[in-house]
Amino acid sequence: MGPLTGLRVVELAGLAPAPFACTVLADLGAEVIRVDRATPGADVLGYPDDPLTRSRHWIGVDVKSPEGLDLVLRLVDRADVLIEGFRPGVAERMGLGPDALLARNPGLVYGRITGWGQDGPLATAAGHDINYIAVAGALDPIGPAGGKPTIPLNLLGDFGGGGLLLAMGVLAALFERQTSGLGQVVDASMVDGAALLTTSLHGLRNLGLWPGPRGTNLLDGGAPFYDTYETADAKYVAVGAIEARFFAALVEVLGLEDPPNHLDPSTWPALRTQIATAIKSRTRDEWTKLAEGTDACLTPVLTPGEAPHHPHNAARATFLNVGGKPQPAPAPRFSRTATDTPTPPSTPRADTTQILTDLGVPESEITRLREAAIIA
């Protein structure tokens, strides 16, 4: 179930951003077939029970062999979407480039994601999330004043500006296909996507509202009313009391005496000391309890292991147990076409026989292909 029920996606196995895009589509109801290598020993992608491979069918094929390539082409002929995350030119050398596939299936939406994009001086250079967000200008603003840039995991490049933006681009191309009847190539670059995520920051800079270096501005930890603070039990709370009425509520919860004008940057050092001293006097959970029911914008900083058990997350089922393991639930939510609970990741290549049977390949031929190591 889900709003994408009936959509067929072929995923060429890769790392982080492309699988995440396919997970988003699968969570929303699309049928995703993950095409991997035929030989298990050659598989260096992912790990067992990786939630980025949940809700998939999984086939192993040697696409370097003519017969293996033909099987994948037949899968693509029946698909609405193909997603790959190789360096520019790799898919073309495999015989699975967009020109070849769109000639066979003109309605195909061909989604491809790279760090640098399909063209430009760095297009064929190696890199990872940290490199892409660095060039996009998304890494430099993150970190403490006077310190070095802080790595935001690989959330901005691989997942936010990468896989999620690719999924959105694929859906946009599918919408346009309803009018034209034609597919197209969606070129998602993690540099482009990470840069897009900084749109608001550029707006603030253009207005002169982000004047300082990292760690000295309104939303980067420079403002004492928008920061994290250590509690008595060496844990942390997050404070985000920007507006006057929220700051007034924070003052009341913390019991601050004669706080200065919080929007005057000249008062920030003294105000930070006041807030830090107050918060250090109680545990994280004590502050959480005191802030409940107020507009103080004070919340606990939870670990990934704690987050599923928070009462709000539990009430909304923000996290689910998939195959006995906690992981985030599909999002967003739909009033009429609700999504199903994701299914656990398949054993790599375990669906090969069933997929080929559904494709119309005779059992005797499947046996021959397996004996020839063309399929898993």
Measure the CA–CA gap between 23 and 3, rounded to whole angstroms.
14
Residue 113, phi then psi, degrees to nearest 5: -130, 135
- Is-contact 297 223, C-beta < 8 A? no
The span from the CA of 178 to the CA of 188, in Å, is 21
Count of C-beta atoms within a 10 Å radius of residue 265:
17
| Residues with a known catalytic role | 128, 158
For residue 332, whether the previous peptide bond is cis, meaning omega lies within 30 degrees of 0, is yes
What is the C-alpha separation between 165 and 159, in angstroms, rounded? 8
φ and ψ at 269, to 5 degrees?
-60, -45
Sheet of 185-189: strand order equals 57-60, 31-36, 8-12, 81-84, 109-114, 185-189
Q: Which amino acid is at 73?
A: L
Taking the C-alpha atoms of residue 271 and residue 248, their distance in angstroms, rounded to an integer, is 13
